[in-house]
Chains A and B, each alone.
Chain A
Amino acid sequence: MSRADAVAAPAPVAVPRYRRPGVAGAFTRRSPLGAIGAVIMLVVVVAGLAAPLVATHDPTRTDATQTFVPPGPRHWLGTDHLGRDIYSRLVHGARVSLAVGVACALLGGLGGGAVGLLSGLTGRRVDGIIQPVLDIMQGFPLLVLALVMTAALGPSIGTVVVAISVPFIPRVARVVRAVALGVRETTYVEAARALGAGGLRVALRHVFPNTVAPLVVMTTAQLGSAILVEASLSFLGLGIPEPYPSWGRMLAVSATEFAQRAPWLVIFPGLAISLVVFASNLFGDGLRDYLDPRLRI
């Protein structure tokens, strides 16, 4: 205990102490919407991790006497055609959606960033090899390639992750390459080269920082896309296989058939998907504003 506390001192003079704001504080001030996105994501992550604790019912237990119960005090978001509690299924489904999304976004972002820089900076010969390969990969629409791969390999979490993240690589690489091509011609890169900077130094010190903002935006947008594609695959019956509850499958099995009778079967799982993707997009935007010095005027 310090002396200041022990003595009934006269009202202390408020000396404004400079406190350097933490990263989170600075981010929140800079981008309140981004912070809201981050908080939503955090809540969903925690809910997914603590699913057995926050769920009110067993997500797989059916109850023939409790089918199509509208949202109410006993079943917060209602029950489905088998009497399963929608809220509990959503909470458990969060695990799958987030795990798949994060894995795909990271794989795609890392791969695409590296390929894009290489392609944009190393000159015509390497670019001439990489571009057709990217074109070949990108030629397949994301969902079509994912569909065919899961059909060929059989649905499993690993297949779904690979099927979704591989098609991300050319998308990211193209954007990064476009930025790199533009930056390559700027005078400061010319200056750096004239001062004797090597290819790697130019790439990492001068070009890479310019690609961070689009890379971040692309990667977080992919987190959203990955969750959406997984939902679409599950909706079509080719996504994450049965024992795991999945938001997309909740929409497929019951919703189309019983939509008119019990709209909550359609509304809540779709809302969950949209909310998570919306939050990750908000967060990605916020991160872009925070990371891109040119926009910080």
Chain B
Amino acid sequence: MRGFVAHRLGLAAVTLAGMSIVIFVLLRIAPGSIVDLLFSSAGYVDPAEKQQITHELLLDRPIPVQYAQWAGALLHGDLGKSYRYGLPAARLIGPRVPITVELAVMGMAVALLVGLPTGIVSATRQNTAADYGLRIFSLAGLSMPAFWLGMLIILMLVRVFGWIPPMLYVPVRENPGLHLMQFLFPALAVGYRSAALINRMTRSSMLEVLREDYVRTGRAKGLAGRVVVYRHALRNALLPVVTVVGTEFAFLIGGLVVTETVFNLPGVARFLVEAILWRDYPVVQNLVMLIAIVVVLSNLAVDLLYARLDPRVRYT
């Protein structure tokens, strides 16, 4: 097991290095230099200022040197400087991280709380009214754009209650109740899709496992249906579900981009969109890298969990 963990940790490090190269290259395929893009909306440009920024961004150095400088700074926790705000990027990003993390965790909690039980019910009562109802419910979740669901929720809150979640961020210390309400509705909007996916994967995986011989044996020797389903079938059925939860976490971060925009929450995801629209490339580069780190860590967690749940999946 220790060898496996070391192997996986090594892979995660390699993956992150690879991702940093991809990000670096991707943002340099852009036609024209970053400085040109930075100034493209500014009208008149002072050549001296342009020269200075070119130097600050190390664009006058060879590409491998640029990469090494950026990666080195990143390893030291230096996120560079935002050209839109003229501030260190870390100061801008830092306060936004908890907001996005809170929303992501709440969204995933919604997804698991809804997705797993409904998936199990659907599978154990295949082709009943309950199964059909839940399948339509989950298909609807996969079909609605998260931002549209968010808009509908806001519309409904206004029509029915004459109330909308505050458009300005409310810190938890100021008003915990309002803070929770402010996050609950976006979490529902962003979690519904993941819930639907987890429901579907749990259902199909359970159905497959419930047809296995050992499940029939369990039933034949007189075990209670509950024991067969939860102790024998569910454990094996959860394997593919764990993978889906892991990959879905990455998708959830994508969903946050639009949801934070709709609900006007000042999180990291919305900041990324702003940085892209403002062409604040140093910020974009570091934000995407930050997201990449989160995703790699969650994938690592899934892999380790997978090995724990299924002893067959071990290389070392």
Contact = CB atoms under 8 A, between A and B. Distances in A.
A185 B144 contact: no
Contacts of A118: none
B243 A178 contact: yes
A255 interface: yes
A277 B250 CA distance: 21
A148 B148 contact: no
A272 to B, nearest CB: 10
A149 interface: yes
Among A140, A236, A275, residue most surrounded by chain B Cβ atoms (within 10 Å): A140
Contacts of A217: 204
A204 to B, nearest CB: 22
Give the bracket for the number of chain B residues in contact with chain A. Answer: 35 or more
Contacts of A229: 254
A43 interface: no
A282 B211 CA distance: 24
B97 interface: no
Given A139-B296, A141-B251, A260-B158, A132 B15 contact: yes
Contact of A270 (B151, B204, B240, B257): B151
Contact of A294 (B146, B208, B247, B296): B208
A141 B18 contact: no
Give the bracket for the number of chain A residues in contact with chain B. Answer: 35 or more
B155 A144 contact: no
A142 interface: yes
Nearest to A228: B145
25 contacts: A132-B11, A136-B15, A138-B247, A139-B16, A141-B250, A142-B250, A142-B254, A144-B288, A144-B291, A148-B276, A185-B312, A231-B145, A232-B254, A232-B257, A236-B261, A236-B273, A251-B148, A251-B151, A259-B151, A267-B152, A273-B148, A275-B143, A278-B140, A281-B142, A295-B207
Interface of A: 124, 131-133, 135-136, 138-144, 147-149, 151-154, 171, 174-175, 178, 181, 185, 217, 221, 224, 228-229, 231-232, 235-238, 248, 251, 255-256, 259-260, 263, 266-267, 270, 273-275, 277-278, 281-282, 285, 294-295
